[in-house]
């Protein structure tokens, strides 16, 4: 299909859109915002009637906040987010085992590294953002009944429960692309038809959220209570909202343990019934799963439909937002470029799978440290933590094989290669703007100050609508120097497409980018190809 089509009614099919999204939770709403900003026609359907008014996720990181910035919703998000800080690990007696300090001030993404929130408020911001886009439609109380995919798109049979009474009204939708953001029990994933990789974590926990009457004398940071009698986590969401997660132990009755009198007894070391209202008490099994297949033809999955993680790193919602950021610009390009866009979208799963896997695997590792229940083993763990600390680095994974292998082979310089395929920093530019605000939702070249770029290279990037930032300021210049790069090419999701040792190497990056995006060759490309062909022919004769 060619450039973005308005949602409309087709006599033979029903509603026609570029992209249909099943599920309007944070991942689905984020994807719809990013697509709407790019002019793509989108239908989002969700079985629920409005936003689910219970707390679930409570944490996002600086990279996630950077995606909210790209949506144009950062200011609104700051009204519902609280910057976070350190995490303390304590033994059974409450003595500190170690402190993992949070970053003070702004992090490499241009935002604080940690934020805490009440999920319904965050979803309110995302849903309200969709109202900005006339080509994005949300249908609540609308569920997927069946889908049929072919080489050109997907036909959906929906049941709109908001109209028609009883079993609702039938609605048929034709879309070029379907994305299932419909959670752990995804119907769309069933249609893709493949299994998860299971990383082995399936532990039951009681999750309790409470609204306080007034602030309590409790730590204003999160605490991992490494108590073998019952491991627990206490989370400071904001002064009047707290979460406790308590591991289920042998003999616990999942139905009995959520009774208010039992919950209050378990929370008695932190809070009393006269001090708070229980908002939710529910048992969950924390899973560690990554889908082996994220796409089949024109059908894709994202968020919990594609991966599920234990909460010990606070990365569940973050991973879904990364999915949306990776996929949105590729789908928008596919809507414009048809066949070339199909190949671009096909990099989504291969890129995201190992990236998501790295976070899930680390969450499992950290969880196994917390969830020790044997007293002797716990004593050894406590001694090790006091002596050595917790020996892991928070991951900054590289994307899996996909677009970041810009020229078909990695450069010989390992320092530059280390940043290719990873998230870039967001510097403040000399004019006071942040990088992402300055370049918008495009590819960008970030070059050190004073780097000479040939006019032909500038023209090649201009033809691809790539922004060139050649006065990035001291922070970006230092980051480039740290990685022995004179310039980097950044994707719209701000992952590094290529890193170059000098200005002349950028010309090869521009050529690789054009090839990857399926752009038609320029006259300069044809001349270069003819020259290379003649050179190879001559070399063959002389040898």
The CATH number covering residue 144 comes to: 3.50.50.60
Residue 152 resides in a domain: yes
Dist. CA 415–CA 397, nearest whole Å? 15
Which two structure tokens, joined as six digits, stand for 367? 């969880």
Bridging pattern class, strands 222-225 and 232-238: antiparallel
Q: Are residues 279 and 293 in the same domain?
A: no
Same domain, 430 and 501: yes
The DSSP output letter for 303 is G
> Of 307, 333, 366, which marks where a domain is finished?
366
Same domain for 118 and 29: yes
CATH number of the domain residue 207 falls in: 3.30.9.10
Other Cβ atoms within 10 Å of 152 Cβ, number: 11
- Rounded CA gap, 162 and 47, in Å? 10
144: its two tokens: 């997927």
Q: Distance (Å, rounded) from C-alpha 444 to C-alpha 467?
A: 5
Q: Which residue has 């199909």 as its token pair?
A: 342
Q: Which domain holds residue 261?
A: 202-287
Q: Assess if residue 40 is contained within a domain.
A: yes
Residues 122, 251, single domain; the answer is no
For residues 212 and 324, membership in a common domain is answered with no
The DSSP 8-state label assigned to residue 311 in this structure reads: G
Structural domain contains residue 536: no
Tens-level pLDDT at each residue, the chain (543 residues) = 333 445 554 444 579 999 999 999 999 999 999 999 999 999 999 999 999 888 899 999 999 999 999 999 999 999 999 998 888 999 999 999 988 887 778 999 999 999 999 999 999 999 999 999 999 999 999 999 999 999 999 999 999 998 877 788 999 999 999 999 999 999 999 999 878 999 998 999 999 999 999 999 999 999 999 999 999 999 999 999 999 999 999 999 999 999 999 999 999 999 999 999 999 999 999 999 999 999 999 999 999 999 999 999 999 999 999 999 999 999 999 998 867 789 999 999 999 999 999 999 999 999 999 999 999 999 999 999 999 887 667 778 999 986 555 444 444 455 677 899 999 999 999 999 999 999 999 999 999 988 989 899 999 999 999 999 999 999 999 999 999 999 999 999 999 999 999 988 999 999 999 988 886 544 544 453 444 333 333 333 322
DSSP three-state, residue 511: helix
Instruction: Examine the domain organization and report whether 282 and 353 are in the same domain.
Output: no
Number of domains within the chain: 3
Residue 100 is predicted with a pLDDT of 83
Tell me, yes or no, whether 220 and 332 share the same domain. Answer: no
In a domain, 240, yes or no: yes
Q: Are residues 115 and 66 in the same domain?
A: yes
Report the CATH number that the domain containing residue 448 is assigned in CATH.
3.40.30.120
* Same domain as 346, residue 329: yes
- Can you name the residues that pair with 124 across neighbouring β-strands? none
**Secondary element (H or E) of residue 465:** none
Domain final position from 287, 316, 346:
287
Whether 436 and 497 share a structural domain: yes
| pLDDT of the residue at 403 | 53
What pLDDT is stored for residue 439 in this prediction? 97
Q: What is the pTM of this model?
A: 0.91
In a domain, 389, yes or no: no
Sorted by sequence, the CB contacts under 8 Å of residue 521 that are 6+ apart come out as: 514, 529
Alpha-carbon torsion (339, 41, 325, 149), positive or negative: negative
Q: 379 lies in a domain?
A: no
Rounded to an integer, what distance in angstroms lies between the CA atom of residue 45 and that of residue 156? 11
**130 lies in the same domain as 57:** yes
Distant-in-sequence contacts of 357-360, Cβ < 8 A, 24+ apart: 357/197, 357/199, 357/290, 357/307, 358/395, 358/397, 359/309, 359/313, 359/315, 359/318, 359/319, 359/395, 359/397, 360/199, 360/288, 360/289, 360/290, 360/307, 360/308, 360/309, 360/310
Is 371 part of any domain?
no
User: How far, in Å, CA of 441 to CA of 203, rounded?
Assistant: 40
Structural domain ending residue among the three candidates 306, 334, 366: 366
pLDDT at 426: 98
pLDDT at 1: 32
Question: What is the edge-to-edge ordering of all strands in the sheet holding 82-83?
Answer: 59-61, 114-116, 82-83
Residues 118 and 46 occupy one common structural domain: yes
Answer yes or no: is 294 within a domain. yes
Q: Three-state SS string across 40-67, please?
A: CCEEEEECCCCCCCCCCCCEEEHHHHHH
């Amino acid at each position: 299909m060619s450039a973005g089509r308005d949602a409309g009614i087709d006599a033979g099919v029903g509603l026609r859109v570029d992209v249909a999204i099943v599920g309007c939770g944070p991942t689905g709403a984020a994807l719809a915002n990013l697509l709407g900003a790019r002019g793509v026609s989108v239908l989002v359907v969700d079985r629920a009637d409005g936003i689910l008014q219970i707390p679930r996720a409570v944490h996002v990181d600086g990279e996630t906040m950077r995606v909210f910035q790209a949506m144009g919703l950062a200011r609104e998000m700051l009204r519902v987010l609280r910057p976070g800080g350190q995490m303390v690990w304590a033994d059974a007696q409450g003595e500190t085992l170690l402190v993992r300090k949070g970053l003070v001030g702004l992090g490499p993404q241009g935002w604080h590294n940690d934020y805490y929130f009440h999920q319904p408020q965050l979803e309110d911001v995302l849903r309200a953002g969709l109202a900005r886009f006339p080509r994005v439609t949300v249908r609540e109380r609308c569920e997927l009944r069946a889908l049929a995919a072919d080489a050109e798109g997907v036909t959906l049979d929906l049941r709109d429960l908001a109209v028609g009474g009883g079993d609702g009204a039938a609605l048929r939708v034709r879309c070029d692309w379907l994305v299932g953001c419909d959670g752990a029990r995804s119907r769309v994933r069933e249609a893709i038809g493949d299994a998860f990789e299971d990383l082995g974590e399936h532990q039951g926990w009681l999750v309790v959220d409470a609204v306080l009457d007034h602030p309590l004398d409790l730590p204003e940071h999160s605490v991992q209570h490494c108590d073998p009698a019952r491991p627990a986590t206490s989370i400071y969401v904001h002064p009047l909202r707290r979460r406790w997660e308590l591991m289920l132990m042998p003999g616990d009755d999942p139905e009995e343990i959520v009774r208010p009198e039992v919950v209050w007894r378990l929370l008695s070391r932190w809070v009393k019934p006269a001090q708070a209202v229980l908002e939710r008490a529910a048992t969950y099994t924390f899973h560690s799963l990554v889908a082996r297949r994220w796409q089949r033809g024109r059908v894709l999955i994202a968020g919990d439909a594609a991966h599920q993680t234990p909460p010990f790193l606070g990365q569940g919602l973050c991973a879904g937002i990364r999915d949306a950021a990776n996929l949105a610009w590729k789908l928008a390009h596919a809507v414009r470029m048809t066949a070339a866009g199909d190949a671009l979208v096909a990099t989504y799963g291969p890129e995201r799978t190992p990236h998501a896997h790295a976070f899930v695997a680390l969450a499992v590792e950290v969880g196994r440290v917390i969830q020790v229940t044997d007293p002797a083993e716990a004593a050894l763990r406590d001694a090790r933590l006091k002596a050595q600390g917790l020996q892991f680095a928070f991951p900054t994974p590289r994307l899996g094989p996909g677009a970041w292998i810009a020229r078909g082979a990695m450069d010989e310089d390992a320092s530059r290669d280390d940043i290719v395929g990873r998230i870039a920093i967001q510097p403040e530019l000399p004019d006071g703007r942040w990088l992402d605000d300055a370049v918008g939702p495009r590819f960008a070249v970030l070059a050190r100050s004073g780097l000479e770029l040939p006019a032909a290279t500038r023209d090649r990037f201009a033809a691809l609508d790539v922004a060139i930032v050649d006065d990035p300021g001291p922070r970006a210049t230092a980051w480039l120097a740290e990685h022995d790069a004179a310039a980097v090419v950044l994707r719209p999701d701000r992952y590094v497409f290529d890193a170059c040792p000098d200005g002349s190497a950028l010309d090869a990056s521009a050529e690789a980018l054009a090839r990857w995006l399926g752009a038609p060759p320029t006259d300069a490309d044809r001349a270069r190809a003819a020259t290379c062909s003649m050179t190879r022919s001559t070399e063959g004769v002389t040898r």
